[in-house]
Amino acid sequence: MFVFRFILSFGLGISLAHGFTLPQEDETPRSCNLPKGTPGFCVPLNRCTAINELVENLETVTNDVRLYMQDSFQCPPNPKKEGFEVCCAPELIVPALTVEPETVPRNSCAFQFDIPVTCAPFSECTPILQLIENIRRPIPQAIPILLQNSWLCGFEAIGGVSQPQVCCPNAVLKPKKKVPSDHPNRGLLPLDTECGINDPVQKRIVGGQDTVLGEYPWLVNLGFKSSGGTTDEILFKCGGSLISDQYVLTAAHCVTNLPESITLARIRVGEHDLGKDEDCDPDSFPKVCAEPVQDFNIEKIIPHESYNAPNPFQNDIALIRLDGKVQFNRFASPICLPFKDDEEESYEKVESQNTITDVAGWGATTRTGRKPALLLQKLKVEVFEGAKCREVYSTRGGKLTPLQQMCAGGENGKDSCVGDSGSALMRDVRPLPSIFKIIGVVSFGPRRCGTEGVPGVYTRVRYYLDWILDHIEE
């Protein structure tokens, strides 16, 4: 909302400088109404400088934004002229006209074509959010005026804050918040009392430390097979989290767009040390050993349908359905999903002094992404401020989306790394007994793992709860 307010305030009191002229037309242009109802004229695109500048200053034009602008401005065809015309506010037309539009102001939103439109909070209008997010900085002077004259239709007090309203097609309005616990598939996942419980035998991620047996019983290994190899060797190169007895949550980049010779071949549940056939605690007496690992084939891979769009690594989340059901035990059990967290929870502020945020995996233990760990590694991390993280990655050519991605780490020599992809960023808010929930999925990070001031990026699980529930089956 801050960006939208900034753009609006930026436009107040600004008059456009008409530094060039175009041939004056012989006839007065047709009149029209802008989306918010104010009168305008249908003119060629090159006469409406503000729309021109908006188009030229969009880094990415999604399909929703393209249709939004087309329905907002494109006038009906003019049989007397070639090419299309746009509905433009008189004060934005170059050269200026000396006549007034013949249409009368309208007190409601409507687009150029007959589609249902509502004056709604801008935060609920997907195309305007995408449009504002993709405007290059610094913002040209004409764009704030265009936003005000065309789409701004009012203000509404929400939670004690006055929030701008914009004209928005009903079809693209974000649905009202649903409570994931009311989803018909919620019963296919464990109750909060049946997940996230660890019972480690004792009460390498870069800079991490060894875990104890049974510390994260929901973490699984994704095994890959090469068709060009001389053996049937399985290489474990990604991680995931068990969220039920038949579903694993992981990163989309671990399961889709793989090299042609590489296939996901196995999911291993209950592993601790990849270098040993039997995992035992060397310090326990009497000797305590884990149950044998459980290996599964893959019944179905479900990457997010919008993975890598509109920006690289966006929607980096996937589900894997196993070909059988996991037998839960002390060393193999599911983690909780963040059903009780608010949809816009940032996780930046800890809930109590007992709050712990961990990331764990079998990934590389060197900053250059080499030397994968055999023994499951863990690392305590701090959630990185979202706005600062977006700024850090924008200077590196990346683009993050606040509600869908989050950042953690950024401490020198400590980070998730190559091979940790798909594993879990976990939070435990109770001292004993520990109840863990997954809040992020390891997505990507700097080229050198554990770079000071450059955190790892995680897919924000809370945003995708409905997607998860929509795609699981009994």
What tokens does 318 get? 């996937």
Residue 19 within any structural domain of the chain = no
Quote the pLDDT of residue 84: 87
Any residues with CB less than 8 A from the CB of 315 and at least 6 apart, and which?
252, 304, 305, 306, 307, 308, 309, 404, 459
- Over residues 400-426, the mean pLDDT reads 80
421 included as an active-site residue: yes
The answer for residues whose C-beta is within 8 angstroms of residue 268's C-beta and 6 or more apart is: 220, 221, 223, 236, 293, 294, 295, 296
Domain match, 160 and 196 both? no
Higher pLDDT, residue 188 or 200? 188
Domain's final residue, options 134, 154, 172? 172
Task: State the Cα–Cα distance between residues 303 and 255, nearest whole angstrom.
Answer: 7
pLDDT band at 15 (very low <50, low <70, confident <90, very high): very low
Instruction: Sort residue 234 into left (φ over 0), alpha (ψ -120 to 50) or beta.
Output: beta
If asked whether residues 164 and 185 sit together in one domain, one would say no
Q: Which of 245-254, 313-322, 350-359 has the lowest mean pLDDT?
A: 350-359
The confidence band for 452, taking pLDDT boundaries of 50, 70 and 90, is confident
Task: Look up the CATH number of the domain holding residue 390.
Answer: 2.40.10.10
Which of residues 114, 148, 172 is at a domain's end? 172
Extract the tokens encoding 120: 């709604």
Question: What pLDDT does 113 receive?
Answer: 83
- Answer yes or no: do 118 and 243 share one domain: no
Considering the domain architecture, whether residues 167 and 185 belong to the same structural domain is answered as: no
Tell me the two tokens of residue 195.
């997940």
Whether residue 272 lies in the annotated active site = no
Window from 164-173, 195-204, 250-259, 398-407 with minimum mean pLDDT = 195-204
154-192 pLDDT, tens digit each: 988 754 557 789 999 998 887 665 667 788 999 999 998
Question: Residue 13 domain-assigned?
Answer: no
Residue 170 CB neighbours (<10 A): 10
Within-domain flag for 4: no
Decide if pLDDT at 303 tops 90.
yes
Number of domains composing the chain: 2
Mean pLDDT of all residues in 327-346 = 91
Which contacts of 282-286 are long-range, i.e. CB under 8 A and separated by 24 or more positions? Answer: 283/202, 284/201, 284/202
> For position 82, what pLDDT does the model report?
83
pLDDT for position 227? 82
Choosing from 421, 423, 428, 443, which is the catalytic residue?
421
Looking at the domain assignment, is residue 7 inside a domain? no
Residues 216 and 162 in one domain: no
**Is the pLDDT at 368 greater than 70, yes or no?**
no
Q: Are residues 279 and 372 in the same domain?
A: yes
Same domain, 369 and 440: yes
Q: How many CB atoms are located within 10 Å of the residue 181 CB?
A: 11
For the residues 303-331, what does the mean pLDDT come to? 95
Active-site choice (183, 241, 244, 253): 253
Q: Which amino acid is at 147?
A: L
Confidence of residue 13 (pLDDT cuts 50, 70, 90): very low
Say yes or no to pLDDT of 229 above 90. no
Residue pair 333/191 in contact (Cβ under 8 Å)? The answer is no
pLDDT the model gives residue 331: 96
Out of 279, 316, 358, 428, the active site residue is 316
Predicted confidence (pLDDT) at residue 223 exceeds the cutoff of 90: yes
Q: pLDDT-derived band of residue 100, with 50, 70 and 90 as boundaries? A: very high
Is residue 23 in a domain?
no
Q: Which has the closest alpha carbon to 460: 345, 372, 359? A: 345
Is the same domain home to 250 and 207?
A: yes
Single residue among 172, 204, 236 that ends a domain in this structure: 172
CATH number of the domain to which 139 belongs: 3.30.1640.30
Question: Do 70 and 209 fall into the same domain?
Answer: no
Backbone torsions φ then ψ of 449, nearest 5 degrees: -60, 145
Nearest to 380 by CA among 208, 204, 206: 208
Please tell me which residue, 390 or 206, carries the higher pLDDT value: 390
Classified as helix, coil or strand, 197 is strand
Asked about 253 being catalytic, the answer comes back as yes
> Residues of 216-227 as b/e, b for ≥16 C-beta within 10 angstroms?
bbbbbbbbbbbe
Both 437 and 462 in one domain: the answer is yes
Do 218 and 306 lie in one domain? The reply is yes
- Mean pLDDT score across all residues of the chain: 85
d(CA 416, CA 419): 8
Peptide bond before residue 127 is cis, with ω within 30 degrees of 0: no
Tell me what pLDDT residue 284 has: 78
397-399-405 Cα angle (round to 5): 140
Q: How far apart are CA 206 and CA 415, in angstroms?
A: 5
Residue 117 pairs with which residues in a beta bridge?
Answer: 169
| Average pLDDT of the segment spanning 138-146 | 86
Question: With 60 as the cut, is the pLDDT of residue 12 above it?
Answer: no
Q: Both 356 and 394 in a single domain?
A: yes
Give the mean pLDDT of 380-390.
90
14 inside domain? no
Q: What is the sign, positive or negative, of the torsion defined by CA atoms of 211, 419, 269, 457?
A: positive
Structural domain of 368? 180-470
The pLDDT of residue 273: 93
Q: Do residues 134 and 58 make contact, with C-beta atoms less than 8 angstroms apart?
A: yes
Within-domain flag for 8? no
Give residue 276's pLDDT.
Answer: 92
Asked, for residue 22, whether it belongs to a domain, the answer is: no
Global pTM reads 0.64
